A and B are shown apart, each in its own frame.
Chain A
Amino acid sequence: MLSIEAVIKPERVNQVSAALQEAGCKGFYYFNVTGQGGQGGVEVLVGRGGRTAGRSAVPKTLIRTIIDDSMKEAVVQAILNAARSPGEGEIGDGKIFVSEIKEAIRVRTGETGTDAI
Chain B
Amino acid sequence: MDTGNTAWMLTASALVFFMTPGLALFYGGLVRAKNLVSTIMYSFTAIGVVSIVWVLWGYSLAFGEGNSLVGDLSHIGLRGIDYVPSADAAYPPLADVVFQMMFAIITPALITGAFVERFKFTTYLIFLVLWITIVYAPITHWVWGGGWISGLGEVGALDFAGGTVIHINAGIAAVAAALLVGKRRNPGVQSNNVPFVVLGAAILWFGWFGFNAGSALAADYVAVNAFLVTNLAAATAAITWGLVSQIRNGKMGAVGLATGAVAGLVAITPAAGAVGVMGAIAIGFGAGVLCYFAVALINARGLDDALDVFAVHGIGGIWGALATGIFTVSAMTGVPGVVEGSFDQLIVQAQAVLGTLAYSGIASYVILLVLDKIPGLGLRVSEAEEDQGLDLSVHGERAMVDDGAD
Q: Contact residues of A with B, CB < 8 Å?
A: 9-11, 14, 34, 42-45, 53, 56-57, 59, 90
Contacts and interface: CB of A to CB of B under 8 A. Distances in A.
B402 A11 contact: no
B397 to A, nearest CB: 6
Contacts of B406: 56-57
Nearest to A9: B387
B395 A45 contact: yes
Contacts of A43: 396
Report, nearest first, the 9 A-B pairs whose CB atoms are least far apart.
A34-B405, A45-B396, A11-B387, A44-B396, A57-B405, A56-B406, A45-B397, A53-B396, A42-B392
B388 A11 contact: yes
24 contacts: A9-B387, A11-B186, A11-B387, A11-B388, A11-B389, A14-B186, A34-B402, A34-B404, A34-B405, A42-B392, A43-B396, A44-B392, A44-B396, A44-B398, A45-B397, A53-B396, A56-B398, A56-B405, A57-B405, A57-B406, A59-B34, A59-B398, A59-B405, A90-B384
Contacts of A53: 396
Q: Interface residues of B: mostly helix, strand, loop or mixed? A: loop
Contacts of A34: 402, 404-405
Q: Interface residues of A: mostly helix, strand, loop or mixed? A: strand
Counting chain B CB atoms within 10 Å of each CB, which of A9, A42, A53, A59 scores highest? A59
A45 to B, nearest CB: 4
Give chain B's interface residue range (CB within 8 Å of chain A): 10 to 19
B116 to A, nearest CB: 16
Interface in B338-388: 384, 387-388
Counting chain A CB atoms within 10 Å of each CB, which of B384, B396, B398 scores highest? B396
A102 B46 CA distance: 58
B83 to A, nearest CB: 35
Contacts, number: 33
Contacts of B388: 9, 11
A90 B382 CA distance: 15
Nearest to A92: B388
Contacts of A42: 392
Contacts of B401: 56
Contacts of B384: 90
Interface string B95-126: 00000000000000000000000000000000
Given A14-B186, A56-B406, 8 more contacts: A11-B186, A44-B392, A44-B398, A45-B397, A56-B398, A56-B405, A59-B398, A59-B405
A45 B404 CA distance: 17
Contacts of A59: 34, 392, 398, 405
Contacts of A56: 398, 401, 405-406
A43 B397 CA distance: 9
A42 B401 CA distance: 13
Contacts of B395: 45
A23 to B, nearest CB: 21
A35 to B, nearest CB: 8
Contacts of B396: 43-45, 53
Interface in B169-192: 186
Nearest to A44: B396
Nearest to B395: A45
B81 to A, nearest CB: 35
B127 to A, nearest CB: 22
B389 A44 contact: no
A44 B397 contact: yes
